[in-house]
Amino acid sequence: MEQFEAYLLSHLPASLSFHPHYEQSLQAMLIGGGKRFRPALLLGVVNAFNPLLRQSAYHVALSIELLHTYSLIHDDLPAMDNASLRRGLPTLHTTYDDVTAILAGDALNTYAFEVLSHAPFSDTVLIKLIRELSTNGGLNGMVLGQAIDCTFENTPLTLEQIKMLHIHKTGKLIAASLKMGAIIVGRDDIAQELYNFGIDLGLLFQIQDDILDVTQDSASAGKTTHNDEAKNSFVTILGLEKSIEEANALADKLTLQMESFDENLVRELSPTLSHYLYRHKG
């Protein structure tokens, strides 16, 4: 991922203006780092089936990271989670103000599709990629999950409703990352299988985040923790012990499913997934 990181830093959003901090606000959370989990999944699929397309796929990986970063900026706003720390840095609204954070998020959202439009693939492939990113990151994907999350604060949901919430808020963009990798390399035959795998992976990722929210401090997590008391988190509804059991079961299911994958795909995804599948165990 070092090459992708260098690519990201060379393609930071910029604007030639006299605004005192617009450019800095666009770049801060991207420079701050993060797991780069979604780009790693996409690039892992590309490497498994056609590594010659890796460089071209950086455009697509960056577009996903841009969209994900916009969602974090907005998610941290006072009107949503009111968080003060993200990726080990003060959140944008605390560094600057709410308006700057809102507009930075808006800009990264649209910049994601600008970057994606420049990916050196055929128009047919680009349309498929744009469709996946917009469908899973937009009104019936991540944004719907965020809307449910915020609207039902202090209103307990059923376990199935919570899973639906987090499949949309977290799972769909992770699933799209894998599927978009398959689209790039022309493996439509496994695209849906990878998407379904990604939905379960995203659900596991969210359960783990909920567990870490109550077991880690903010400095260790790099973001504001102990901030989900009013939320429909898995820990809030199931309790810590049952949440860990749920995470273990999902991690075991995903590990077993990986055994049926192409050996090249297993080789490329394993370094990323082995680090994350059981991260809730510390």
The CB-side HSE value for 156 (13 A sphere, CA atoms) comes to 7
- Residues paired with 85 in a beta bridge: 90
Mean pLDDT of all residues belonging to the chain = 94
Question: Domain residues for 207?
Answer: 2-281
Task: Quick: pLDDT tens for 170-228.
Answer: 999 999 999 999 999 999 999 999 999 999 999 999 999 999 999 988 766 677 777 66
Does position 12 have pLDDT exceeding 70, yes or no? yes
Does position 3 have pLDDT exceeding 80, yes or no? yes
What pLDDT score does 269 carry?
Answer: 97
What pLDDT score does 27 carry?
Answer: 96
Higher per-residue pLDDT: 108 or 218: 108
Cα separation, 9 vs 169, in Å, equals: 27
- Specify the DSSP class assigned to residue 84: S
Per DSSP, the chain holds a count of helices (H) and strands (E) of 15, 2
Does position 23 have pLDDT exceeding 80, yes or no? yes
Q: How far is CA 255 from the centre of its chain?
A: 20
Phi/psi at 89 (5° precision): -120, 155
Phi-psi region of 154 (alpha: psi -120 to 50; beta: other; left: phi over 0): left
Does position 282 have pLDDT exceeding 70, yes or no? no
> Mind giving me the DSSP string for 132-193?
HHHHHHSTTTHHHHHHHHHHTTTSPPPHHHHHHHHIIIIIHHHHHHHHHHHHHTT-HHHHHH
Of 2, 35, 29, residue with least CA distance to 13: 29
What pLDDT score does 221 carry?
Answer: 67
Does position 149 have pLDDT exceeding 70, yes or no? yes
* pLDDT band at residue 94 using 50, 70 and 90 as cut-offs: very high
> Residue 160 corresponds to which tokens in the numbers above?
């199935």
Q: Is 68 buried (19+), middle (13-18) or exposed (0-12) by CB count in 10 A?
A: buried
Please give the average per-residue pLDDT across 123-143, as a whole number.
98
Q: Is 209 buried (19+), middle (13-18) or exposed (0-12) by CB count in 10 A?
A: buried
* pLDDT band at residue 114 using 50, 70 and 90 as cut-offs: very high
% of the chain at pLDDT higher than 90: 86
Cα separation, 193 vs 27, in Å, equals: 35
CATH classification at residue 38: 1.10.600.10
> Residue 128 corresponds to which tokens in the numbers above?
């498929």
Task: Quick: pLDDT tens for 226-260.
Answer: 766 778 899 998 999 999 999 999 999 999 999 99
Lowest model confidence (mean pLDDT) among 9-18, 45-54, 165-174, 197-206:
9-18
Please give the average per-residue pLDDT across 155-183, as a whole number.
97
What pLDDT score does 16 carry?
Answer: 84
Domain count, the chain: 1
What pLDDT score does 246 carry?
Answer: 95
Amino acid (one-letter) located at 120: P
> Mind giving me the DSSP string for 24-53?
HHHHHHHHT----HHHHHHHHHHHHH-GGG
Cα separation, 175 vs 212, in Å, equals: 22
Please give the average per-residue pLDDT across 256-267, as a whole number.
96
Q: How far is CA 93 from the centre of its chain?
A: 21
